[in-house]
Structure 1
Amino acid sequence: MPSSPVYFSIPSASLYQFPPRNDPLPLPPPPPRSSLSAPPFEIPLSLYRSVLDVRVPITIACLYAVTVTSLNRYNKSRGNKPWRISRTRAFYWFVVAHNVLLAVYSAWTFVGMWGALRRTVQNPTGPSGVVATVDSLCKVHGISGLGNAVTYNPDLAGWVSESPARVHLSEMGTPDPTDLGRLWNEGLAFYGWFFYLSKFYEVLDTAIILAKGKKSSTLQTYHHAGAMMCMWAGIRFMSAPIWVFTFVNSGIHALMYTYYTLTAFAVPIPQALKRSLTTMQILQFVIGASYAAIHLFVTYTVPIQVPDVTASVASVASAASTVVSAAAASATSAGVADLVKKYLFRAAGEEGLAENVNAPSAAPRAVPQSVAPGQQQYRTEYQTVPCINTSGQTFAIWLNVLYLAPLTVLFVRFFIRSYIKRTSGKGANYPAQANAAEKAGMDAIKGVERELYPNGAANGHANGTAKARMNGTH
């Protein structure tokens, strides 16, 4: 193996196509098994693929944007007064249930993905080193082990096994759904699909804001609509980096919606915890976008099995030689027996029977010249392979990067203005104009914060107390 099996290179131009190629179709999760790591239930193939039709997220995102714009205008025409329903006890408990549901669901997804990562990501200190870790994160189909991946080859328009002697395709020519050890079958196909669907449900966050008579900002609309499209692209094209969005974002959401729930019950939230939550969100965006983009430039060396024609022919020749030798020995034995029979018949006066002893027999069966499946020989070669194989995977990566870039800028600005500049004031010596400007800026920041923590603000109002309003908004 080369001394540097992992390195960076310029991605192939064929990976950049828009719209991306439609192949391959997404593969559903494996059927449930008697294992704690198995999906708890089976998702019908037709349902799994139908909701991943590109028209589904586009239609829902457009309807969401149009609805929000219309309701923003409606609220403005009414002076941004809260809707009557938002003042009811039922609405309050609906908000609480909504937050609890998303907190529990997000924690379930986080735990499930943690188990999948623990089972599939190879230890860099193992026998194959860092290249095995890279391979386990880049290739999500097949079985565990360097060189045991199953990848889609756009040039051949089909799936290819790197180790055909060990890892076989299904009868449909796709990765075997029973193969374990890679991220897709171990949990990403299942948890990622449901996390994609959860992005449609999360638009209720915006509904809560609108019901309180508040304006839902363009940022809020962009955030929810963009999340729908990013999760769709990652799962639809089975792009390896989408596990980061599913795993990390579900963990952040578990904490975030727990925070919203506590806010609804007027539980005081320390500023340090809130600052930590914002910090984690910023790190999520920066690290997630950077990690996804790196996949496009990573190539590495793996052992690949290729057919060994010479060895296979030698195997067939050896088998044929054995058959011929056995036939020759049999023919020799048969010749001696025939000679004895002929002399015995002639001694008995049966000349006719003696002549029949030499009658020609049926022609011998031809020795097969093709290579039987069991006789196919392979040799191991080290080849350089890209981390990303298809234009669909590339499209999903760049869509996530472009989506996260403005969110990262917003959160960084929010963090600096809220937690750094706010604590670096100069007290009484601070100029009056600067104090006035800072106060105006903080008023604007609080508005931004209400957009970043919409449920908190809504829950605070729903509780109907000034304390809850402060906890939810500030």
Structure 2
Amino acid sequence: MAFNAPVFLALPQSSLFTFPPNSDPSFIAPAPTGSNTFAPPFDIPNHVYQAVLDPKVPLTVAAVYTVTAKLLNAYNKSTGKKPWAVSKTTTFRWLVVLHNVFLAVYSAWTWWGMFGALRRSMVSPLGPSGLSGFVDSVCHLNGPGGLGNAVFYSEDANAWISHSPNVVLTSDGSPSPHDMGRIWNEGLAFYGWLFYLSKFYEVIDTLIILAKGRLGSTLQTYHHAGAMMCMWAGMRYNSAPIWMFVFFNSGIHAMMYTYYTITSFNVRVPMFIKRTLTSLQITQFIVGASYAMLHSFVNYTIPVASATQDENPAASAAAVNSSASAGVIDMIKGAYAQKSMPCVTTTGATFAVWLNVFYLAPLTYLFGSFFVQSYLRRSNAGAKAAAKAGKEAASRRLSNNVALAEKAGWEAARNVEREVYGKDNEEAIESEKSANDQVLRSRQ
């Protein structure tokens, strides 16, 4: 039966904006190993899974990281930014290479696992269930696949519920870990949890920078600490937009750390690859914040069985037995009603959504600020040159403005990247330039 119900925007309920958010529901463990073809390669004990999702874990790690980074910054300033002795050893250099290789391989593995999960659970908006089917598949993470089959937590009922009579919950009233067809059981519960833990490990990036005598920027510290909290909130509260964080961030990190590894060996990498990576890094900030925020406003309708379906049992039986059952059901008036469904149903998921939005807002603002500064500087320089060139330059003003905007955007993205990811990027560029110089010298 084709069901093309509308998707619409509406203001979220004010009751969802409550802090602290409701502690229910509790975490939902990944599908057990061997339960299906695409089950996780190994089991994570439930007590371990739950323990690291305690809010004290990311708060403590983020606090220790922030204080340590500030203290080591002060130490580097006191020594005149002199590199630590260990940073000049061969062992240190190879440890940095192994660090980059590990993050590149791990990130690629995570991206591939999430790609499979999305391919198996994300419904095409061009399919029989239309745009509602697509929205349903990305908004609600638990339950069997199919429009209207989602299992979601109702804070009014204080229980997991579904509008489908065919969905069966576990004995404790939770979504079944064996239900397949939605993002959580298809892989997000497993890969997302590990990706959350990887955010603790990524602070080694800052330690490497500090060991080389440089200073870790405040924005870099904010970036790492904020990523820990955002991943924790998304996984702890089963928030739908977190899949995008895991999928896109792991893909970009796979490429980024591969780039760092290659350039550390003075291998020449085309500049367009560097520009592409920088553009992707900035795009994920802007797109990620917009996508997350949209969840609070998106609603869609689903088909639900109505009471009138049982009032005509003969017609219902005919619908089941007929080879053209879909067409018969469509003709039974009142067999299905439409019900509006919000994309976000809990205070916890709402908290996770807006934590991500507020976390990404300063990064987006910084990009805009750098863009304006760069554009104005280049525009003023171009205006002076145009005044000297006369009327001929005026005819090229439009094309020049486009070029200025493009260059300003690239420079702004590069500046944000330098602030967020530290100055190891500059070393990669320097290594690349060194490799280019070697190639040029060999041709002379």
TM range (shorter): 0.7 to 0.9
Residue aligned with 1:382, SS: strand
Distance 2:99 2:135 in 1: 38
Equivalent position amino acid for 2:225 in 1: A
**Cα offset for 1:64?**
0.5
> 8 Å contact 2:367–2:413 — kept in the other structure?
no
Residue aligned with 1:47, SS: helix
The match for 2:360 among 400, 404, 409 is 404
Distance 1:22 1:81 in 2: 48
- The residue aligned with 1:90 is 91
- The residue aligned with 2:422 is 454
RMSD: 3.5
- The residue aligned with 1:382 is 338
**Cα offset for 1:456?**
3.0
Structure 1: tracts of 5 or more residues without a match: 315-377, 432-441
- The residue aligned with 1:111 is 112
- The residue aligned with 1:392 is 348
- The residue aligned with 1:177 is 177
Distance 1:36 1:133 in 2: 24
- The residue aligned with 1:298 is 298
- The residue aligned with 1:351 is none
- The residue aligned with 1:72 is 73
**Cα offset for 1:309?**
12
Residue aligned with 1:296, SS: coil
Distance 1:134 1:461 in 2: 41
Which stretch shows the higher mean deviation, 97-106 or 122-131? 122-131
**Cα offset for 1:425?**
6.2
Q: Deviations over 1:185-218 (max 9, x none)?
A: 0011111101100000000000001101111111
- The residue aligned with 2:219 is 219
> 8 Å contact 1:140–1:149 — kept in the other structure?
yes
Which stretch shows the higher mean deviation, 78-87 or 284-293? 284-293
Residue aligned with 2:28, SS: coil
Distance 1:444 1:9 in 2: 34
Distance 2:262 2:272 in 1: 15
Cα distance change, pair 258–413 in 1 and its aligned pair in 2 (3 A): farther
> 8 Å contact 1:418–1:445 — kept in the other structure?
no
**Cα offset for 1:273?**
1.7
**Cα offset for 1:301?**
1.0
Q: Deviations over 1:103-153 (max 9, x none)?
A: 111111111111111111111121111111111111111111111111111
Instruction: Provide the identity percentage.
Output: 54
Cα distance change, pair 198–455 in 1 and its aligned pair in 2 (3 A): farther
Please state if 1:467 is matched with 2:434. Answer: yes
Distance 1:81 1:245 in 2: 37
Please state if 1:243 is matched with 2:199. Answer: no
TM-score, normalised relative to structure 1: 0.76
> 8 Å contact 1:82–1:211 — kept in the other structure?
yes
- The residue aligned with 1:438 is none
- The residue aligned with 2:156 is 155
Cα distance change, pair 9–466 in 1 and its aligned pair in 2 (3 A): closer
Equivalent position amino acid for 1:70 in 2: L
> 8 Å contact 1:192–1:246 — kept in the other structure?
yes
Distance 1:122 1:288 in 2: 20
Equivalent position amino acid for 1:388 in 2: V
**Cα offset for 1:451?**
3.6
> 8 Å contact 2:7–2:300 — kept in the other structure?
yes
- The residue aligned with 1:63 is 64
> 8 Å contact 1:29–1:190 — kept in the other structure?
yes
Cα distance change, pair 305–153 in 1 and its aligned pair in 2 (3 A): farther
**Cα offset for 1:423?**
11
Cα distance change, pair 205–470 in 1 and its aligned pair in 2 (3 A): farther
Distance 2:429 2:276 in 1: 24
Equivalent position amino acid for 1:132 in 2: G
Residue aligned with 1:30, SS: coil
Distance 1:144 1:264 in 2: 45
Aligned length: 396
- The residue aligned with 2:144 is 143
Residue aligned with 1:402, SS: helix
> Max radius of gyration: which structure?
1
Distance 1:135 1:94 in 2: 45
Distance 1:35 1:2 in 2: 29
Distance 1:444 1:129 in 2: 39
**Cα offset for 1:381?**
3.2
> 8 Å contact 1:61–1:228 — kept in the other structure?
yes
Distance 1:125 1:286 in 2: 26
> 8 Å contact 1:306–1:381 — kept in the other structure?
yes
**Cα offset for 1:271?**
2.6
Structure 2: tracts of 5 or more residues without a match: 314-333, 388-409, 439-444
